A and B are shown apart, each in its own frame.
Chain A
Amino acid sequence: MNWLYDFSYLTRSIHESLAETFEPTTVTIIEMALAGVCFMILFALLGLVLVYAERKVSAFFQQRLGPMRVGKWGTAQTLADVIKLLMKEPLMNKNADRFLFNLAPYIIMIASFMAMASLPFAKGLQALDFDIGLLYISAVSSLGVIGILLAGWSSDNKYSLIGAMRSGAQIISYELSVGLSLLTIVVLTGSLQLSTIVESQANGWWIFKGHIPAVIAFVIFLIASTAETNRGPFDLAEAESELTAGFHTEYSGLKFAFFFLAEFANMFILAASGATVLLGGWMPFHIGGWEGFNGVMDYIPPIFWFFGKVSFLIFLMMWFRWTFPRLRIDQLLTLEWKYLLPVSLMNIVLMAFLSLMGWHF
């Protein structure tokens, strides 16, 4: 069971057993392929689990039961939906831009795939660990908007185009707040490397160690990340009641499934980066000085800590989505440029002052 606590043994043993039989170049290629397969499996599992969770959670928030017929408590409902989507005919508008129309879902998928690569899932379980990890995640996760814009542009549909333009305006705005709220914590860690950020929280998570500015950063991060995933009260890009389905109105079958999957994957990525930076990533809950308590917490494997924190954040996002009404586009921009951005700028100054005086733990 030792590998569950430190995955570096497992990865090293795989690497060594491969190195015995193959040359170094082949080993690298095989390892990259293995990591890719692992991420694909994770993607598929995330899609299945999160869609089911979303439907159930939304149902319970609205005093409904949600899917109940396929399987016990409707657990096989997403599988049935996947089969249905696979069998659907991929339709396309007559005047649609064929190349871009087909390209758009893949760009969205690739963007979330790339962001997934540098997430630290557990101790030693990270595909890419480089010194600008946080910058890389925030840069790559906003690439998805190109896919959305392409989808809206190439669909030859006015609703798609309006949805895509809204999504562009929204992501360009809220990217700032996500970045600044994460930067607030980087002031304390002094590093953008995700493994270092996680290691720095061994004696307490930053949300506790960073006092009020960290809590403000957490709230801003939650709001802005909900907006960046085009979900919840910020789903103007789809806005069923005004734009039918926004940028993916014209998509059907497997391509629609890709958009759907990418939305949930983006939610996972943002929740994971938030959990890594603010809630300690895979680091167990530690209180400085309480050795016995810390020992008990260490007994729970890091991967469960990571997924527990991520699912907590995802649950919060779902809670937002099924509670708040959708914002208008001008309200959306007002919220970002008049409230979130000034507050996060003030917050980062406050955090810098705090860190300068050494008032954090």
Chain B
Amino acid sequence: MKSIINYFKEIFTGLRSLLQGMKVTGHYITHPKEIITQQYPENRDTLKMFERFRGEVVLLHNENNEHKCTGCSACEVACPNGTIEIIPKRVEVEGHKVKAIDQFVYHLQMCTMCGLCIPACPTDAIVMANTFEHAVFDRSKLTKILNKPGSKIMDGIK
């Protein structure tokens, strides 16, 4: 007797779980506003990338063309595949010879967008930008120098 009850119970629980699944997909088809697909080239002007999207590494500059990079090479060490190359130089500040960056070289073609360089930076000089249109016709254009010409380190950053 118990097995017969279980048999019908199984049928009804099975049907119920099927209906639950259909309810989920039924919600999707009746809510076309929740569609995730982006019509990319058409909506290029209005498309907003997500905040957390990792597109490329940028070195932040303020309006006086100053950045926070001390040239400590922590990002270069943190990078798993040699994307970042710091070329340092010695500058004289108040009579001392201090290490600073000459060139912050960033090889976009090697970057896997893992983002490990961002937390490695002790002065929060670099961030991940959410740009994504990186296609170029010349491979050499992918090797970028992130510090702008003539830029220098911000005051008080050591």
A322 touches B25 (CB 8 A): yes
B29 at the interface (CB under 8 A from A): yes
- The answer, among A61, A65, A324, for a CB contact under 8 Å with B28, is A61
Query: CB of B39 within 8 A of chain A?
Result: yes
B45 to A: closest C-beta gap in Å: 18
Q: A57-B29, A68-B39 are in contact. Are A63 and B34 (CB under 8 A)?
A: yes
| B149 neighbours in A (Cβ, 8 Å) | none
Q: Are B35 and A319 in contact (CB under 8 A)?
A: no
Cβ-closest 4 pairs across A and B: A65-B37, A323-B25, A60-B29, A61-B25
- Number of interface residues, chain A, beta carbon within 8 A: 16
CB within 8 Å of A: which of B1-53?
11, 15, 18, 21-22, 24-26, 28-29, 32, 34-37, 39
Determine whether the beta carbon of A65 is less than 8 Å from that of B39: yes
Q: Is the CB of B26 within 8 A of A63?
A: no
Inter-chain contacts of B37 with A (CB < 8 A): 63-65
Where the two chains meet, the residues of B that have a C-beta atom closer than 8 Å to any C-beta of A are 11, 15, 18, 21-22, 24-26, 28-29, 32, 34-37, 39
**Total cross-chain contacts (CB, 8 A):** 36
* A62 contacts across to B, CB distance below 8 A: 28
CA distance A104 to B24 in the complex (A): 39
The interface bits of chain A over 319-352 (1 if a CB of B lies within 8 angstroms of the residue's CB, else 0) are 1101110000000000000010001000000000
A60 touches B32 (CB 8 A): yes
Closest to B19 in A: A323
Q: Which residue of B lies closest to A342 (CB)?
A: B7
Docked complex Cα distance between A250 and B121 (Å): 56
Task: Kindly identify, within residues 27 to 64 of chain A, every residue whose CB is under 8 Å from any CB belonging to chain B.
Answer: 57, 60-64
B35 nearest in chain A by CB position:
A63
Q: How far is the CB of B97 from chain A (nearest CB, A)?
A: 60
Contact B39 A63 (CB under 8 A): no
Please give, as numbers and ranges, the residues of chain A lying within 8 Å of B28 by CB-CB distance.
60-63
- A sample of 20 inter-chain contacts (CB < 8 A) reads A57-B29, A60-B32, A60-B35, A61-B29, A63-B28, A63-B34, A63-B37, A64-B35, A64-B37, A65-B35, A65-B37, A65-B39, A68-B39, A319-B25, A323-B18, A323-B22, A323-B24, A323-B25, A324-B18, A324-B21
The answer to whether B11 touches A339 (Cβ under 8 A) is: yes
Nearest residue in A to B17 (C-beta to C-beta)? A324
